[in-house]
Structure 1
Amino acid sequence: MNDLARRPAVARVEPHAAMTAAVDGDAHRPDAARRAALACMVTLAVALGVGRFAFTPLLPLMLHGGGLDLRHGGWLASLNYAGYFAGALSCVALRIPHAKIVRAGLAATVLLTLAMGLTQQFWIWAIVRFVAGAVSAWTFVFASQWGLRRLAQLDANEWGGVIYTGPGFGIVATGLLVSAAGGLGARAGWIGFGLVSAVLAVLVWKTFGEDVRAPASPPTSGAANANTPATPAAEPGARHVDAFWLVLLYGVPGFGYIITATFLPVIARHALPGSAWPDLFWPMFGAALVVGALVGARLPFHWDNRLMLAGCYVLQAVGIALGIVWPNAAGFSFGSVLIGLPFTAITLFAMREARLLRGEHAAALMGYATAAYGIGQIAGPLVAAPLAAATGSFSPSLWLAAGTLVAGALGLVWRTRV
Structure 2
Amino acid sequence: MSQIGYDPRGAWRAALACMVALAVAMGLGRFAFTPMLPIMLHEGKLDLQGGGVLASLNYLGYFVGALVCAAIHMKAASMVRCGLIATAALLIGMGLVQDFTLWGILRTAAGVVSAWTFVFASGWGLRRLAETGAPALGGVIYAGPGIGIVATGVLGGAVGRWGSEAGWIGFGLLSLVLIAVIWRIFGDREPAGAANIGQSAPPTAAEAAAARSDAGWLVALYGLAGFGYIITATFLPVIARQALPGSPWPDLFWPLLGIAVVVGALIGARAPVEWDNRLLLACAYMLQASGILLSIVWPTIAGFALGSLLVGLPFTTITLFAMRDARRLRGNASAGLIGYATASYGVGQILGPLFAAPLAQRTGSFTVPLLVAAATLGLGAALFVHVWSRSRLAQGRLPT
Question: TM-score scaled by structure 1?
Answer: 0.90
**Counterpart mapping for 1:224-373 below 5 A:** 233=203, 235-373=207-345
- The residue type paired with residue 94 of structure 1 is I
Cα drift, residue 392 of structure 1: 1.0
Cα drift, residue 231 of structure 1: 6.1
- The residue type paired with residue 128 of structure 2 is R
Q: Secondary structure at the match of 2:107?
A: helix
- The residue type paired with residue 95 of structure 1 is H
Cα drift, residue 212 of structure 1: 3.6
Note if contact 1:98-1:211 (Cα within 8 Å) is conserved in structure 2.
no
Q: Determine the C-alpha separation between the residues in 2 that align with 1:88 and 1:253.
A: 16
Cα drift, residue 211 of structure 1: 5.3
Counterpart of 1:4? none
Q: Determine the C-alpha separation between the residues in 1 that align with 2:42 and 2:190.
A: 46
**Counterpart mapping for 1:113-262 below 5 A:** 113-210=91-188, 212=190, 215-218=194-197, 233=203, 235-262=207-234
Counterpart of 1:402? 374
Cα drift, residue 348 of structure 1: 0.3
Q: Determine the C-alpha separation between the residues in 1 that align with 2:42 and 2:83.
A: 31
Gaps of 5+ in 2: 391-400
Cα drift, residue 181 of structure 1: 3.4
Cα drift, residue 180 of structure 1: 3.0
Q: 1:302-343 deviations in whole A, cap 9, x for unaligned?
A: 000000000000001100000001111011000000000001
Gaps of 5+ in 1: 1-12, 219-227
Q: 1:184-216 deviations in whole A, cap 9, x for unaligned?
A: 121111000000100100110000003546724
Note if contact 1:87-1:133 (Cα within 8 Å) is conserved in structure 2.
yes
Note if contact 2:159-2:170 (Cα within 8 Å) is conserved in structure 1.
no
Note if contact 1:99-1:211 (Cα within 8 Å) is conserved in structure 2.
no
Q: Determine the C-alpha separation between the residues in 1 that align with 2:358 and 2:82.
A: 36
Q: Determine the C-alpha separation between the residues in 1 that align with 2:354 and 2:235.
A: 12
Q: Secondary structure at the match of 1:251?
A: helix
Q: Secondary structure at the match of 1:184?
A: coil
- The residue type paired with residue 263 of structure 2 is V
Indicate the RMSD between aligned Cα atoms, in angstroms: 1.4
Counterpart of 2:360? 388
Cα drift, residue 178 of structure 1: 1.5
Note if contact 1:97-1:211 (Cα within 8 Å) is conserved in structure 2.
no
Structure 1 segments of 4 or more deviating over 6 A? Answer: none
Q: Determine the C-alpha separation between the residues in 1 that align with 2:199 and 2:268.
A: 19
Cα drift, residue 249 of structure 1: 0.3
Q: 1:234-282 deviations in whole A, cap 9, x for unaligned?
A: 6111111110000000001100000010000001111111111001100
Note if contact 1:46-1:170 (Cα within 8 Å) is conserved in structure 2.
yes
Note if contact 2:69-2:116 (Cα within 8 Å) is conserved in structure 1.
yes
- The residue type paired with residue 69 of structure 2 is C
- The residue type paired with residue 75 of structure 1 is V
> Which of 34, 53, 71 lines up with 1:75 in the alignment?
53
Q: Determine the C-alpha separation between the residues in 2 that align with 1:308 and 1:255.
A: 19
Percent of aligned positions with the same letter in both sequences?
62
Q: Determine the C-alpha separation between the residues in 2 that align with 1:211 and 1:152.
A: 16
Note if contact 1:230-1:360 (Cα within 8 Å) is conserved in structure 2.
no
Counterpart of 2:33? 55
Q: Determine the C-alpha separation between the residues in 2 that align with 1:352 and 1:59.
A: 33
Q: Determine the C-alpha separation between the residues in 2 that align with 1:274 and 1:117.
A: 28
Change (3 A) 1:363 1:271: same
Q: Secondary structure at the match of 1:91?
A: helix
Note if contact 2:284-2:314 (Cα within 8 Å) is conserved in structure 1.
yes
Q: Determine the C-alpha separation between the residues in 2 that align with 1:394 and 1:211.
A: 49
